[in-house]
Amino acid sequence: NLKKIKFMKKKRAFITGITGQDGSYLADFLLKKNYEVFGMVRRSSTFSTKRIDHLIESKKIRFDYGDLTDTSCINNLLRNIKPNEIYNLAAQSHVKVSFELPDYTAEVDSLGVIKLLNAIKEICPNSKYYQASTSELFGGEKKTVPQSEKTSFNPKSPYATAKLYAYWIVKNYRDAYKLFACNGILFNHESPRRGNTFVTKKITRGVSNIEKKKQEFITIGNLDAVRDWGYAKEYVEGMWRMLQLKKPLDLVISTGKATSVRKFIELSFQHIGKKIIWKGHGVNEKGYCKKTNKMFVKVSDKYFRPNEVQYLCGNSKLAKKKIGWTPKTNIKELVRIMMDYDLKYDDYGEDLT
Ligand code: NAP
Ligand code: GDD
């Protein structure tokens, strides 16, 4: 009986996007905090649950099929779960893909948010809501660095524009209906669980495959794009901390350190004892092994975007002050974590670091 009472007292968290990088780490984190975790999973012809299989197998989380584009589904889920906290991490999250799927990106990343907020307003107005907002809102002009909560927005893709709508509608519902709703403006964060088509994972996987003699070289886009890359496992704690505030707030989460794609490549090769020498310019630029002169990196315009976000680097001083969040993993350590993982495993699945 005591056990039952304890169970009933657990807080309930509902995560959309639980099968993604952040959703899976957040589920791990909240379970450690003794939450009951509920997740929404999209139906697909093959299982998409690799990142959370360890939780499903041990029956630690409950998941329901659903989609952010379906109002009935959202309403039913909130009615049944009655969550204390809602983390909206679901999105068409790939910037380049958003140029190819602009309508769908808006459908999910903008309208999906209004569906959720309306459902909260009607069904569970006391639930706390976290919105996965993004540094892409800032547009990445070098003159705006470091970007903070006060930097003006300048979205440069259908993804960023859709996320900007989401940002404002969260603020709007917070003011109009007194919902506890926060925007976490997160800068890029990576991990062994990062999707294979994002640049960091593409690089660490590619370099590992070169080391395993499964791949000859990596083909990449803009080498001079700069990002503020942190470790996803730490960033999900920032999300949770935001929802523990007394008053809702929008906060930037970042490391404050900038690294180029070029440097990330060099660090990844350094991990396997290889130094890269660059020759040529623009799409003709190539990276060679200093010792053997073998070509390891090639540039292709296939991976350039119609509009580029060149330089993102955040200032998360307000997050430190308000929620006591600071980054712990620097870029070299992040590369080490991702490289060690990719050298050991061919894909994520076994050891979900
Ligand atoms: P991710 O790995 O791409 O995961 C996205 C999740 O959304 C997946 O679970 C995906 O399901 C789900 N999803 C996509 N469309 C959906 C739909 N129509 N209905 C329901 N679920 C849907 O992304 P992430 O890196 O974990 O990022 C999490 C969130 O933070 C996203 O909103 C992203 O835009 C935002 N964000 C990310 C970063 C970053 O650097 N990672 C930075 C700032 C903001 P499937 O598994 O079925 O595809
Ligand atoms: N994906 C990819 N593939 N990017 C490349 C490549 C390549 O082959 N070559 C160069 N890049 C450059 C991109 O042009 C971009 O400037 C940078 O590397 C990072 O690209 P991504 O890793 O795809 O991430 P992103 O910054 O566009 O978007 C991610 O971070 C945002 C936060 O700033 C995503 O996680 C978004 O969902 C998130 O909002």
Which residue has tokens 């519902």?
Answer: 173
Region of 273 (left: φ > 0; alpha: ψ -120 to 50; beta: rest) is: left
Which residue owns the Cα nearest ligand 2 atom 12?
A: 222
Which member of 16, 134, 161, 255 is catalytic?
134
Ligand 2, residue 201: give the atom nearest the CA: 22
Which member of 159, 231, 311, 341 is catalytic?
159
Nearest 10 degrees: CA dihedral of 250, 255, 261, 267?
Answer: -160
Contacts of 307 (CB under 8 A, 6+ apart): 156, 157
Sheet holding 286-289, edge to edge: 218-220, 295-299, 286-289, 276-279
Question: Up-side HSE of residue 53: CA atoms within 13 Å toward CB?
Answer: 11
CA distance 125 to 173: 11
Ligand 1, residue 232: give the atom nearest the CA: 41
**What is the sign of the dihedral through the CA atoms of 146, 147, 150 and 153?**
positive
- Ordered per-residue pLDDT tens for the chain, 353 residues: 555 555 458 999 999 999 999 999 999 999 999 999 999 999 999 988 999 999 988 888 999 999 999 999 999 999 999 999 999 999 999 999 999 999 999 999 999 999 999 999 999 999 999 999 999 999 999 999 999 999 999 999 999 999 999 999 999 999 999 999 999 999 999 999 999 999 999 999 999 999 999 999 999 999 999 999 999 999 999 999 999 999 999 999 999 999 999 999 999 999 999 999 999 999 999 999 999 999 999 999 999 999 999 999 999 999 999 999 999 999 999 999 999 999 999 875 454 44
What's the gap in Å between 89 CA and the centre of ligand 1?
A: 5
User: Which protein residues are within 6 Å of ligand 2, measured from CB?
Assistant: 93, 95, 134-136, 187-188, 197-199, 202, 220-222, 225, 227, 261, 303, 305, 308-309, 312
Give yes or no for a contact between 152 and 167, defined as CB atoms under 8 angstroms apart: no
Which residue owns the Cα nearest ligand 1 atom 6?
A: 17
Give yes or no for a contact between 153 and 164, defined as CB atoms under 8 angstroms apart: yes
Mutate to test the pocket of ligand 1, among 44, 74, 89 (most ligand atoms within 8 A of CB): 89
Of 255, 294, 256, residue with least CA distance to 276: 294
Which ligand is closest to the CA of 42, given by its number?
A: 1
pLDDT of residue 3: 56
Which member of 136, 190, 234, 266 is catalytic?
136
Any catalytic annotation for residue 173? Answer: no
CA distance 27 to 34: 11
Ligand 2, residue 91: give the atom nearest the CA: 37
CA-to-CA separations, 325 to 182, 190, 192, in angstroms, rounded: 15, 17, 22
Any catalytic annotation for residue 159? Answer: yes
What's the gap in Å between 325 CA and the centre of ligand 1?
A: 22
Of 16, 349, 342, 317, residue with least CA distance to 147: 317
Of 228, 236, 105, residue with least CA distance to 166: 105
pLDDT of residue 4: 56
CA-to-CA separations, 274 to 214, 262, 277, 284, in angstroms, rounded: 17, 14, 10, 21
Q: What is the pTM of this model?
A: 0.97
What's the gap in Å between 333 CA and the centre of ligand 1?
A: 24
CA distance 201 to 20: 14
Which residue owns the Cα nearest ligand 2 atom 29?
A: 188
pLDDT of residue 205: 96
Question: Up-side HSE of residue 7: CA atoms within 13 Å toward CB?
Answer: 5
What's the gap in Å between 22 CA and the centre of ligand 1?
A: 8
pLDDT of residue 6: 53
Any catalytic annotation for residue 136? Answer: yes
